[in-house]
Structure 1
C-alpha cells in the first residue's frame, strides 16, 4: 500500500507584517506575502536583502539566533505559528526545512537518516511502516534507485547532490505541509541541480514549497510565483513586488525588478 506523504495535504502559508531584528538592527520591515498551497514560491533578490532571514521566520528558526526578535504573524492555514499555545516543535514538523549545505548525519546510515525526524518527534511506527516510508521518501526525493542497495551505508558516504536529496527525504518523512529550501542547489553541480529541480516540480502537488535562490533561471524553471526582496542604501529588506513568475520575468511593475531579473545588478 502506498503511504501518503503529507498529513492533511499542502497548506497555505501567509506572512503578515513580518519585521525581524538581530539585536537592534532591523533586517526586515513589515513584509507580507501569501504562499499558496501546492505551489512553489521563489524568493529572489541580491545578497543581504533578507530573503534567508524571512525564510527562517516562517518556521521559527529565526529565534534560534541570540538577540533575534520578530514582530508580525506567520499563519499556517490561518493559525499563527508564533501563538503562545503553539509549540515550536509543532511548527517545524509542519514546516520543514532544507538548508543550503547538505547536512545529513554523516555516521548514520541512509535508512536511519530518513527516519531521524520521527525519532526527534517521538513518532513510533512499525518496522514495515518504516521500510515503506524510507522507500517512498527516497523515491519522492529522486534517490531511491541510486541508494536502494546502500541503505545501511553511512549518509556521509553519498555525493553532495545525493546528500541534499537525502536531506529532502528526511524532511519529507515527518509529513510536512510546507517545505522551505534555502538555496538548496548553490553548492551542487549542474546534474545534481537538475535532479533537485525535478524533485521540486514533483513535490509541488503534495507540499507547498518556498525556495530562496540567486539563480534566476532556476526561479523561472521551478516556481509558480516570485517575491523580489531588496534592501537599498542600508535600509531593511522589503518586498518590492511579487506575482506570477512569468509576469515577474517579462512584465514586472517595478523597473528595479526588471533590472534584477535581467542581471543588471545584484
Structure 2
C-alpha cells in the first residue's frame, strides 16, 4: 500500500487539553498519555467531556461550528494541530468508530472496506488481500467472505459495527478511537467487538469511551476517569492501570463511580 500512514501503533498524549463550544468551557486541563499498542478506556458520567476529548484526538472537534480548543495533542511527539498539518492526514493515522454503526448502505461489503483508501487516494496493489486482512482483523471475515458483493447495510448491527472497524483498519491507522462502540449492540455482538479489541492490542493503539464498567475492566490496560462537577467543565479526576482504578483508586469519587454509586 502506497501513501498510507507509517505502520504500527503510535503513542497519543494530551497536554493541558481544553475544549469550548462557543463561550462554554466543556473540558479543562486534560493531561493523558495513551501508550502505543495499549487499550485506554475513558469512563465517567454522561456530559463530562469524554466524547469531546475523543474528538479532540483526531481533529473532529474543530468541525463543530463555534468550537475552540487549547493545549496540545501529540502523536508520537508531534502536535497534530501544528500549523500546516492537514486534518485529513491526521484522520488517516487516527481512525474513529462511532457509537452507531455507519457503513455506506449503497456500497457492497468490499466497497465499504476499501472506501477509506479511495477517499485518501491511497494506492493498493492487492485490494482483495487487503479486504480479507481488514475483515479478519475486525473479526468478520468468516461471516461475510462468501457475500462480499452484498450491501453493507444488509448486515446485522453487530456485523455493521465490525465492518466499520474493518473500514478504519484498511488504511492501517496507528490509533483507533471508539466512541461507545457497543452501546447499541446485543451481548453476543458486544462480546465479538471486545474480542476484536483484544486481537488488535499491540497492533494499534485503542482509545475507547464506554459507560459499561465491566467492559472497561475487561478490555483496557489503562483507564481515565472523567468527571464534571456542577457548573464546572469536565476534568480527569484520576488515571492509571485499569486494575488499580477498579480496585484501589486514590480518589474516593473514582471508587464510588466504578462501584455504581452514581452516574
Counterpart for residue 137 of structure 2? 140
Secondary structure in 2 aligned to 1:243? Answer: strand
Distance 1:257 1:125 in 2: 46
Secondary structure in 1 aligned to 2:178? Answer: strand
Match of 1:149 among 133, 146, 156: 146
Distance 1:50 1:168 in 2: 23
Counterpart for residue 49 of structure 1? 48
Distance 2:97 2:201 in 1: 15
Is it true that 1:249 corresponds to 2:242 in the alignment? no
Q: How does 1:1-266 map to 2 (within 5 A)?
A: 7-126=6-125, 129-266=126-263
Contact kept in structure 1, 2:28 and 2:235, CA below 8 Å: yes
Contact kept in structure 2, 1:6 and 1:206, CA below 8 Å: no
Per-residue CA deviations over 1:225-258 (Å, capped at 9, x if unaligned) read 1000000111000000000000000000000000
Equivalenced residue count is: 260
Distance 1:204 1:25 in 2: 36
Q: 1:6 to 1:87 in 2, by over 3 A?
A: closer
Contact kept in structure 2, 1:6 and 1:207, CA below 8 Å: no
Per-residue CA deviations over 1:41-98 (Å, capped at 9, x if unaligned) read 0000000000000000000000010000000100000000000121000100000000
Q: Tell me the TM-score normalised to structure 1 length.
A: 0.97
Contact kept in structure 1, 2:5 and 2:93, CA below 8 Å: no
> Residue 204 of structure 1: CA displacement?
1.1
Distance 1:178 1:57 in 2: 13
Secondary structure in 1 aligned to 2:95? Answer: strand
Secondary structure in 2 aligned to 1:151? Answer: coil
Per-residue CA deviations over 1:133-192 (Å, capped at 9, x if unaligned) read 000000000000000011000000000000000000000001100000000000000000
Distance 2:186 2:250 in 1: 34
> Residue 7 of structure 1: CA displacement?
3.4
| Structure 2 unmatched runs, 5+ | none
> Residue 8 of structure 1: CA displacement?
2.6
Contact kept in structure 2, 1:45 and 1:260, CA below 8 Å: yes
Contact kept in structure 1, 2:5 and 2:92, CA below 8 Å: no
Distance 1:235 1:23 in 2: 15
Distance 1:176 1:231 in 2: 31
Distance 1:66 1:246 in 2: 39
